[in-house]
Structure 1
Amino acid sequence: MDSAMEFRLSAQQEISGEHRPLGRWLALALVFLAAIPITSLAQDEEKEWEYSLTPYLFLPIATEGTSTVAGTEADLDLDLSDVLDILDIAFATRFEARRDRFGILADLYYVSLSMDQGATLKPAVNPDLDLTATLNVDVDVRQGWLSLQGLYRAFESPVGARYPWAIDLSAGARWNYLKQEIDTNLRVDIFPGPGIQQSLGGTETWWEPVVGFRTGIEVSSCLTLVLRADVGGFGAGGDDLQWGVLVGAERAFNDRHALRFGYLFYGIDYATYRADGRFAYDIDQHGPYLAYSWKW
């Protein structure tokens, strides 16, 4: 197993408190989303929809926390090189549609990490015994989400301001996907067959409410400073809190193309129980953020 990840057995602990009702949060989010097109249609017919597609890349230079599968807790302390060594695939993009003060925002994110470790063991009781065993351990961790939020421009500076700036608020729902699975295979050379196999952990999915805030100030005709934050979870589906904060800037090349860059902080605190024990994912990450935005 990677030296940055050391498994240790821990006593199984109960998750404090009960999950808060999700229906109330989702109902509020859906009402907000449903109001967007209705309100937009009532606006000046001369206003046109504007769209943007923004693929982005998040490079976590530090990942710290714990991963728990079947009551077995693993400490995580990974740098960027550790993450890249075990990275299979990563994909993320944001889509936005806006008309005047109202809009819709969709965010899609997916990352897959895996490790495959093997070891040859000698019996501890009698090392001279001509007997060996091979232990293979496969670790598969995947995380993803798809969120849909309604946008509302709560404030916009007057036309002609020296440094134009605006504030956007958002609210909606997010569907989450989390897989933590450990597959082991123990084979002893004197016994034929595939060996002793065991699979721990699995996949969890859940819905949760999410709210967001962002502000930007134009310091020049081509450069905008940006602060963005979103918070979700609130106990829904086992996710006590999931949050992200981005501090960055946008460099516009023209009306359609722009480069976005900055520094992103992200955290999640999720826990539930499965048939084989406690299943939890509690991590904090931070690192550079890079994105390309195409507008039309």
Structure 2
Amino acid sequence: MRYAPLISRYLFCVGLLLVAISHAASAQSLARSEDDEGGWRHSITPYLFLPLSTTGTSTIDGTSVGLDLSLSEVLDVLQGAASVRYEGWNGDFGIISEVYYVRLGEDGTLPSGNANVDVDVRQTFVNVQGAYRFANGVNAWGRRYAADVAIGVQWNRLKQEIDIAGPGPGVTLGGTEDWFEPMIALRYAMEINDKWSFASRAELSGFGVNGDDLQYLLLAGLDWKSWENTSLRFGYQFYGIDYSTDRSGGEFAYDVDQNGIYAAVAFHF
């Protein structure tokens, strides 16, 4: 390929930018009190995921580069992000929706000095899930617990693009892919005391649909009811994605595993 050396040099930047692309999750599953079990309960949760380690492979136009990245390398190229999760529950039935957007990029000049390179990476997803609480009670220590399952659909958009401008016609490598995929999630939560709760969550999506072999998410965290209608959440998360498709210029793929810290603030009403 004519531009393979350029891709190899700048594909590392693309991989560097993509490390922020991942699902984050809410740690809350319990109502604030037994009195809140009746009627609708809602929560809106802006969140942040900080990947301390990212390993895997990023591919554009058939050229791949291995990734082994730290959090500081990610923050150097972050240009903007927004993420929020909504949950609405009425009795044992719930609706969950999540919106995520991140934009990262870097520009520079080739060593020859006769061409400029711009790396643009963006990822967006929107999902909607229907949830059912199949366990809800009080344990031997008098603390409440709950477990729920959710199924839904997620729309994804992934952009990996490199623009090269210089003498002669410009060149664009990579592009943007959109796809839908099914998803399923399982969550368990338990009160520790009046202020603290523990929660764990597992999520799987893709299942080979539209090029996404599998996305997985595993997390465990704590919820601190710091105020009557607000709680703080933090924990540790493992995430992975294995997506690939064929484009006219060659394979377009992203196969990455991450782990790191998530933090969020939840507003209840």
2:173 maps to which residue?
200
Relative to structure 1, is the Cα distance of residues 156 and 6 closer, same or farther in structure 2, using a 3 angstrom cutoff? Answer: closer
1:233 maps to which residue?
206
Equivalent residues of 1:185, 1:198 under 8 A apart: yes
1:144 maps to which residue?
124
Q: Does the alignment pair 1:211 with 2:157?
A: no
1:42 maps to which residue?
none
Matches within 5 A, 1:9-48: 47-48=38-39
Among all aligned residue pairs of Structure 1 and Structure 2, give the percentage whose two residues are the same amino acid: 44
Relative to structure 1, is the Cα distance of residues 107 and 169 closer, same or farther in structure 2, using a 3 angstrom cutoff? Answer: same
Matches within 5 A, 1:282-293: 282-293=255-266
Q: Does the alignment pair 1:163 with 2:116?
A: no
Q: Secondary structure at the match of 2:72?
A: helix
1:30 maps to which residue?
none
Matches within 5 A, 1:1-296: 5=12, 47-121=38-112, 134-158=114-138, 162-187=142-167, 195-296=168-269
Equivalent residues of 2:11, 2:60 under 8 A apart: no
Equivalent residues of 2:99, 2:126 under 8 A apart: yes
Measured in 2, the distance between the counterparts of 1:184 and 1:3 equals: 10
Measured in 1, the distance between the counterparts of 2:196 and 2:249 equals: 52
Question: Across the two proteins, how many residue pairs are aligned to each other?
Answer: 240
Q: Secondary structure at the match of 1:293?
A: strand
Q: CA deviation at 1:6?
A: 7.7
TM-score, with normalisation over the residues of structure 2? 0.84
Relative to structure 1, is the Cα distance of residues 2 and 262 closer, same or farther in structure 2, using a 3 angstrom cutoff? Answer: farther
Relative to structure 1, is the Cα distance of residues 200 and 119 closer, same or farther in structure 2, using a 3 angstrom cutoff? Answer: closer
Question: Tell me, which stretches of 5 or more residues in structure 2 are unaligned?
Answer: 1-7, 15-36
Cα displacement string for residues 27-76 of structure 1 (whole angstroms, at most 9, x for unaligned residues): xxxxxxxxxxxxxxxxxxx9311100000000111121111111111222
Letter paired with 2:222: A
Measured in 2, the distance between the counterparts of 1:69 and 1:200 equals: 7
Runs of at least 4 residues of structure 1 off by over 3 A? 1-4, 158-161
Letter paired with 2:79: D
Letter paired with 1:229: A
Measured in 1, the distance between the counterparts of 2:11 and 2:60 equals: 17
Q: CA deviation at 1:161?
A: 5.3
Cα displacement string for residues 249-269 of structure 1 (whole angstroms, at most 9, x for unaligned residues): 000023311000001111110
Q: CA deviation at 1:156?
A: 1.0
Q: Which moved more, 1:71-80 or 1:174-183?
A: 71-80
Q: Secondary structure at the match of 1:82?
A: helix
Measured in 1, the distance between the counterparts of 2:63 and 2:165 equals: 17
Q: CA deviation at 1:163?
A: 2.4
Q: Secondary structure at the match of 2:38?
A: coil
Letter paired with 1:49: W
Q: Secondary structure at the match of 1:59?
A: strand
Cα displacement string for residues 201-243 of structure 1 (whole angstroms, at most 9, x for unaligned residues): 1110100000001111101001001101111000111000011
Letter paired with 1:75: G
State the superposition RMSD in angstroms: 2.1
TM-score, with normalisation over the residues of structure 1? 0.77
Equivalent residues of 1:238, 1:271 under 8 A apart: yes
Q: Secondary structure at the match of 1:162?
A: coil
Equivalent residues of 1:4, 1:77 under 8 A apart: no
Measured in 2, the distance between the counterparts of 1:246 and 1:159 equals: 22
Q: CA deviation at 1:160?
A: 8.4
